[in-house]
């Protein structure tokens, strides 16, 4: 019989403690992010698709078209091309296509680049019903076209 009352009293007490906790939460500030209106800054080690790093002075890609990223890519999703130009040391990048549909974000391309010309982007809002939208022209992306 005493167990009955003990349980009754402790049970009632625990109900009020529970109400206290949620009551406290009610007045605390909200912690959610209002997603379509606000965006979260991605963490430094987040892996988006790769992007070209522009040269600080010229704004052109730092890439010298050595082709190490293309060779290092296990899925073969990088295609690049370059040409020799008058008055410029080394080759100039003319085409850098990333087929993101087969990319597994392993990072071998970023590892193998000796010139620090590519990095992971922070772009995570990628959604499309069409496959072609994931064949990225990274030079165009660098210039801010599309």
Partner 1 sequence: MPEPFRVILFIIFVMAFAGLNAAYLVWCERKGAGHIQRRIGPKEVGPFGLLQPIADGIKLMTKQLFLPKGVDPILFMVAPLMVMVPAIMSFVVIPFSETFVAREINIGLLMIFAFASVNVLGLLLGGWGSANKYAVIAAARCVSQNVAYEIPMLITVITMVMVTNTMNLNEIVRLQDGWFWHWHIFRLDMSLLMPVAFLIFFTCSLAETNRAPFDMAEAESELIAGAYTEYPGMGFGVFFMGEYANIVIGCALSVILFLGGWQSPIPFSPAGFLGVVWGLFWFLIKLYALIFTVIWIRWTYPRTQFYELLNLSWKVLIPISLFNLILTALQIKIFPWL
CB atoms within 10 A of CB 80: 18
Identify residues 29-58 at the interface with partner 1 (CB under 8 A).
29-32, 34
CB atoms within 10 A of CB 57: 6
Q: Which is nearer to partner 1, 26 or 130 (CB)?
A: 26
Any contact of residue 9 with partner 1 (CB under 8 A)?
A: no
Q: How far apart are CA 103 and CA 120, in angstroms?
A: 12
Q: Which is nearer to partner 1, 30 or 40 (CB)?
A: 30
Identify residues 71-100 at the interface with partner 1 (CB under 8 A).
none
Residue with tokens 């008058």: 86
Q: Which is nearer to partner 1, 34 or 128 (CB)?
A: 34
111 contact partners, CB below 8 Å, separation of at least 6: 72
The residues that touch partner 1, with contacts defined as CB under 8 A, are 8, 15, 18-19, 21-23, 25-32, 34
């Amino acid at each position: 019989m005493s167990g009955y009352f003990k349980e009754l009293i402790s049970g009632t007490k625990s109900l009020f403690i529970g109400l206290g906790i949620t009551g406290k939460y009610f007045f605390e500030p909200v912690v959610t992010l209002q997603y379509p209106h606000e965006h979260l800054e991605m963490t430094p080690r987040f892996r988006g698709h790769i992007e070209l790093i522009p040269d600080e002075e010229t704004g052109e890609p730092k890439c010298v078209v050595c082709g190490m990223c293309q060779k290092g890519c296990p899925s073969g999703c990088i295609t690049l091309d370059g040409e020799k130009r008058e008055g410029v040391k080394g080759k100039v990048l003319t085409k850098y296509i990333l087929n993101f549909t087969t990319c597994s974000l392993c990072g071998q391309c970023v590892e193998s680049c000796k010139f620090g010309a590519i990095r992971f982007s922070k772009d995570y809002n990628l959604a499309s019903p069409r496959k072609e939208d994931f064949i990225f022209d990274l030079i165009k992306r660098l210039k801010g076209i599309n």
